A and B are shown apart, each in its own frame.
Chain A
Amino acid sequence: VQLVQSGAEVKKPGESLRISCKDSGHRFTSYWMNWVRQLPGKGLEWMGRIDPSDSYTNYSPSFQGHVTISADKSINTAYLQWNSLKASDTAIYYCARPEIATADLQHWGQGTLLTVSS
Chain B
Amino acid sequence: EIVLTQSPDFQSVTPKEKVTITCRASQYIANSLHWYQQKPDQSPKLLIKYASQSFSGVPSRFSGSGSGTDFTLTINSLEAEDAATYYCHQSSSLPFTFGQGTKLEIK
Contacts and interface: CB of A to CB of B under 8 A. Distances in A.
Interface string B94-105: 111111110000
Contacts of B91: 102-104
B87 A43 contact: yes
Nearest to A94: B43
Contacts of A111: 43
B34 interface: yes
Interface residues of B, number: 23
A46 B95 contact: yes
Nearest to B6: A43
A6 B76 CA distance: 37
B45 to A, nearest CB: 7
Interface string B71-91: 000000000000001010101
Interface of B: 1, 32, 34, 36, 38, 43-46, 49-50, 85, 87, 89, 91, 94-101
